Amino acid sequence: MIDILIKDILPIFVIMFLGYMAGKRKVFNASDSKILNKLVLTYALPAALFVSIVKADRAMLFDDLKLTIVSLVIITALFLWSYFSCYKFFKHTKSEAAVCALISGSPTIGFLGFAVLEPIYGATATTGLVVAIVSIVVNAVNIPIGLALMNKGKGGVDNSQLTKRTNPVLDALKEPVCWAPILAVILVLLGIRFPTILDPNFELIAKANSGVAVFAAGLTLSNMKFQLDGEVVYNTLLKLILMPAVLLIVGLLFHMEADKLQMMVLAGALPPAFSGIIIGNQNQLYERTGTSSLAFSILLFVVAAPFWIWLTRLVA
């Protein structure tokens, strides 16, 4: 765990702090943050999602239906619960609630999945299976749903404007961050292998995804006052405690294999997805609370990760 904290968690703090200081010293301003987020959301993130998903294969998805079904149902259900609670309990708009769900209702599996799981459980086929399935749930299911909810929330209620409004689902599908992972899943389900020789064409821009996203999050935070209130704490507890706890309980009820259960729970306990922060900042929605929730969750993950590793090994 010390190795993971130093190599995987500490760099997030360092890069976020660099972005924060760059903003405070006026090296970058708020408009620069929007440009960085647009770069990630339009090019780097879709490329990263596409490459990570097409590396899976159809056999992976059907190798363990318990893992696939539990991950899909529980992560999506808590994603929707995050949306509902943000809208109903904390009185945000539907668009803000959608961004909240993209943050606190989704683990950052693409960025930290292999980095956290492989040192603990090894670079095995099971590790790749868990990361692939959770990545598909988060990126090919939750992101399209979140974008559709966000676009729907932007629509007015004036009847005179109804004829001018477009379908929020179709609007979401126009975004590269939405259609790229869906296209990747379709290729996997059809058994079409993406030529590995073409990977470098996507990986070069994909490598910019995580670093630029975290830097932009720090830059965004520098333009706002960090807040630690009940909503930030709630988002953090939902992501680091509730999601892995429900995954563990349901996994035990379905008698999942011990190693797959442990990895699935730890994947669910990962900090919030950076994609939600990027989407929120790009659309100027839920920026302060979302970025504060990300920072607080990353800090507490230092404690949450060892706890879930210990507990799952104890009960699995």
What percent of the chain clears pLDDT 90, i.e. is strictly above it?
32
Q: So what's the pLDDT on residue 230?
A: 94
What is the residue whose two structure tokens read 């130093």?
A: 6
pTM equals 0.78
Asked whether the predicted pLDDT for residue 161 surpasses 50, the reply is no
Q: So what's the pLDDT on residue 248?
A: 97
Mean pLDDT of the chain: 83
The residues, ordered by sequence, that sit 6+ positions from 34 with a Cβ below 8 Å of its Cβ are 281, 282
Average pLDDT over residues 123-131: 76
Within a 10 A sphere around the Cβ of 166, how many other Cβ atoms?
10
What's the CA dihedral at 127, 131, 132, 138 to 10 degrees?
160
Quote the CA–CA distance of 11 and 5 in Å, as a whole number: 9
Asked whether the predicted pLDDT for residue 27 surpasses 70, the reply is yes
User: pLDDT tens-digit profile of 86-103?
Assistant: 999 999 999 999 999 999
Note the Cα 261 to chain centre separation in Å.
20
User: pLDDT tens-digit profile of 193-230?
Assistant: 888 787 787 777 877 777 787 787 778 777 767 788 99
